[in-house]
Amino acid sequence: MDEPSLRKDAEKEQIENGSALRSQLAPIVFLTALFFLNFIARIILSPLIPTVEKDMGLGHGEVGSFFLFITIGYFVSLVGSGFISSRISHRLTITVSSVAIGLVLFSVCFVETAWGISACMLVLGLVTGIYLPSGIATITHLVNPRQWGKALAIHELAPNLAFVVAPLVAEALMIWFSWRGVMAAIGFASILAGVSFISFGRGGKFTGEKPNFGSIRSLLTKPSFWVMVVLFSLGISSTVGVYSMLPLYLVADHGIYRVQANTIVAISRVSTLFIVFLGGWAADRFGTTRTMIVVFFLTGIMTVLLGLANTSWINLIVILQPIFAVCFFPAGFALLSAIVPPQSRGLAVSLAIPVGFMIGAGLVPTSIGVLGDAGQFELGFVLLGVFILSGSILLGFVRLRDHTGKVL
């Protein structure tokens, strides 16, 4: 069944719940702001890593493992998020996540050991993970299916803006504070946002689907779901995975000063604030599958070049790589939502995304760090680029729903 027909079926199923994008712009922007703080809490450690590594006397692999602990917590939390949202509603789940993030980041100020930081990162993953299924479910409930690509593109401004802001905020705040103080400042903002949402925000006043063995088994037996898991792993690797270790790579392997490295990384993400809308438009105009094939091909090439480029060319490649990588997510979330019935979309997100983050934002940075300790930093990016290229081929195995609405 072609994608335009699929969208028409989905629209009939949800038209009574959805609204025009313009009328729901305010709550979508509010959710985007919450997602921004959620995301920046998970990546703020990246621009701080050279300082953390020096301050605590750690190796590349050890600081890379902090991201693995975040993703372990994120994995567990996303999988179990349905148990929370089915009891306290998506709205309250979003609020709890935001306030808890702030408390965890404050706790980092009182921890002095690597294992203590790892424990905090594990808990940080747990409290950040419960947001995304509720956030996606709230947005797809607010707007008509034909507007999903654009609505999710707005939501995807959050991680892209976080990529830009995190290095700049880190460098600005470190003029007055230590790296721990930077994390505490992000924590305070997250608590304030969570309290504001429960007081003034709209949307999410409904419960999620409680995971049960039957619905989970039904989803896990669909080959298309597992293909999407792999694709999200590659998409997250190309953005969060690359970003996590890029400042350290530029400092350690190319001899670039930390401030300059963080500035380059921040500048490279500015264009993604606009390009993400192009990705959402392309998904609606040309179809999610066609859009993602092009995205994986171009992103894979640029990631390979991150490892091959010499110092005189590396800045250009750092700027080009995220331009293509960021276009994955609006199309990716739309395709993931399209291969499952409406009542299972939150469950699909809560099962697919944690595995993607475990691999793309956890194992990938850790592996690149280990290769860096072995003097092969650049090899990590080359291998990652090759894996990303394979996504263009894997998309051929995604099956959409047939004319009866059954997931194939």
Paired strand residues for 143: 19
**CA–CA distance, 278 with 295 (Å, rounded to integer):** 12
Q: Which residues contact 124 (CB under 8 A, 6 or more apart)?
A: 41, 42, 70, 73, 101, 104, 105
- Domain 18-204+211-397 in CATH 3.90.45.10: no
**CA–CA distance, 318 with 309 (Å, rounded to integer):** 10
Q: Which residues contact 307 (CB under 8 A, 6 or more apart)?
A: 377, 378, 379, 380, 381, 382, 385
Burial of 349 (0-12, 13-18, 19+ CB in 10 A): buried
Among residues 331, 334, 343, 260, which one has the least CA distance to residue 294?
331
Query: pLDDT (tens digit, 0 to 9) for every residue of the chain, 408 residues total?
Result: 455 554 445 444 444 444 556 666 777 888 888 999 999 998 888 888 888 887 777 777 777 778 888 888 888 887 777 777 777 877 788 888 999 999 999 988 888 788 888 888 999 999 998 888 888 878 777 776 666 667 777 887 788 788 888 888 888 898 888 888 898 999 999 999 888 888 776 665 666 666 666 777 777 878 888 888 899 999 999 988 888 888 888 988 888 888 888 888 888 888 877 887 787 788 778 888 888 888 899 999 999 999 898 888 888 999 999 888 888 887 887 788 777 776 677 677 777 877 888 888 888 888 888 888 888 888 989 999 999 998 888 887 776 543 334 433
Tokens of 8: 């028409």
Q: What is the pLDDT of residue 248?
A: 85
Domain spans of the chain, in order of start: 18-204+211-397
**CA–CA distance, 169 with 338 (Å, rounded to integer):** 37
Tokens of 53: 């590594």
Residue type for 281, please?
W
Burial of 159 (0-12, 13-18, 19+ CB in 10 A): buried
